[in-house]
Structure 1
């Protein structure tokens, strides 16, 4: 059976997951420049310059940032694909959207990190209406590469209005339509989109957003996994709390 989207199954597996805390990676210190420095100042400079992975780990949203939303690492066993190389799209121009809606980074980043958010946990309607999950994928790029990856995403939204189909590892995700969606300005440039799909004849509306802040892209994607699994129509909007918190951390990080 074709899965409707990897996000739906990942959401179902994480209904009882507690928040996890992001941790940083490691990297070699920056290479010395041609201009000599004193040992103390060179060490201080290296200590102040985090690697791309460390920067993302310090920038990704946490439970503290989101007023109690659960923030967890997605379960890889439910991933549609573990890398973009595993994904094929019937319309290549639409590939950035396939990646965005399956928690894969756009383009070729130097580092990337994904979190799955849900909540607030005391929402009175979550048992009857399901929980909407907002995925956050951050990716750090070499200078100029974030801009080109953002441009590819914008081109995909413009070109894929009549939908597309993505396949990976024996699974298939058909999207019936894609339209641009107005979002609050954020970062250096931002882009919103809405996509539609049907599973067992039941319609679902999914929402996404891409924000560029300097050389970092934030990709947001929302899904109501319980609605899809239980055959209820859904319109899974992005969490304003999560998006605002993450965009705020991106701006603060790009200015430091």
Structure 2
């Protein structure tokens, strides 16, 4: 059965998934002695991916459980796996499917939950000089051009959005954009929301859905948690 964007995926996976981690290391004393020591500049160098990992908000900072989403949690696993019937709407489709907008150097997505049935996906992305501004420009164009809706598809299913509206985003960043989109699921209207912020060369996108509405077959009205946004944005600003 084809699934509408995140209607089945977030419910089947994100609720029950836990974070697991393991690791280990070993070294040979003589071999290590032969290796040149890292210079001070090398020791301080941080990759874009490592930088994002440090910028992702934690439970201690936000009060929300923040963890990696499950495999298959979104309509598409990558930008290349998604097709959009209206090309101009593609950045919106990415923003509503845990994918980065534009062409980032690195990206990281976690899902934040607390009591209740709201799931908020936080996607952090870092860009080369000027690329973040370009990505935000394309997202704004999509929001202005796709009010009548669009359809995103992948080998996992199809997501037909009926409408897109631009809303007011909180202040405090270099740029921001907020949207609401609707689609039908089992005869009920579901409203999903995004808020996207640029801080220099870093973009954070929040995407929230009301999972309880899908489970209970009722209309859904997703609301992005203001306290979560405040906590995450504080680490970026």
Provide the TM-score with structure 2 as the length reference.
0.88
Cα 1:200–1:116 change in 2 (3 A) is: same
Determine the structure 1 residue equivalent to 2:49: 53
Give the CA RMSD over aligned residues: 2.1
Whether contact under 8 Å (2:7, 2:214) holds in the other structure is no
Q: CA deviation at 1:238?
A: 0.5
- State how far apart, in whole Å, the 2-side matches of 1:181 and 1:248 are: 21
- State how far apart, in whole Å, the 1-side matches of 2:212 and 2:170 are: 28
Determine the structure 1 residue equivalent to 2:66: 71
- State how far apart, in whole Å, the 1-side matches of 2:73 and 2:122 are: 16
From 96, 112, 116, the equivalent of 1:117 is 112
Q: CA deviation at 1:48?
A: 2.6
SS of the equivalent of 2:236 reads: helix
Determine the structure 1 residue equivalent to 2:212: 226
Cα 1:7–1:201 change in 2 (3 A) is: closer
Q: Which runs of 5+ in 1 are unaligned?
A: 22-39, 252-256
Cα 1:203–1:156 change in 2 (3 A) is: same
Determine the structure 1 residue equivalent to 2:97: 102
| CA offset digits 1:58-109 (Å, max 9, x no partner) | 0011111112x11111101333111111111110000001000000111111
| CA offset digits 1:100-128 (Å, max 9, x no partner) | 00001111111100000011x4xxxx3xx
SS of the equivalent of 2:207 reads: strand
- State how far apart, in whole Å, the 2-side matches of 1:113 and 1:172 are: 24
Whether contact under 8 Å (1:117, 1:133) holds in the other structure is yes
Whether contact under 8 Å (1:9, 1:225) holds in the other structure is no
- State how far apart, in whole Å, the 2-side matches of 1:206 and 1:58 are: 28
Q: CA deviation at 1:2?
A: 2.2
SS of the equivalent of 2:212 reads: helix
Number of residues paired by the alignment?
A: 224
From 88, 95, 100, the equivalent of 2:83 is 88
SS of the equivalent of 1:77 reads: coil
- State how far apart, in whole Å, the 1-side matches of 2:124 and 2:11 are: 19
**Would you say 1:15 and 2:12 are equivalent positions?**
no
Q: Which runs of 5+ in 2 are unaligned?
A: 22-36
Matches within 5 A, 1:137-156: 137-156=123-142
Provide the TM-score with structure 1 as the length reference.
0.82
Whether contact under 8 Å (1:166, 1:172) holds in the other structure is yes
Whether contact under 8 Å (1:8, 1:225) holds in the other structure is no
- State how far apart, in whole Å, the 2-side matches of 1:79 and 1:205 are: 17
SS of the equivalent of 2:39 reads: helix
- State how far apart, in whole Å, the 1-side matches of 2:17 and 2:179 are: 28
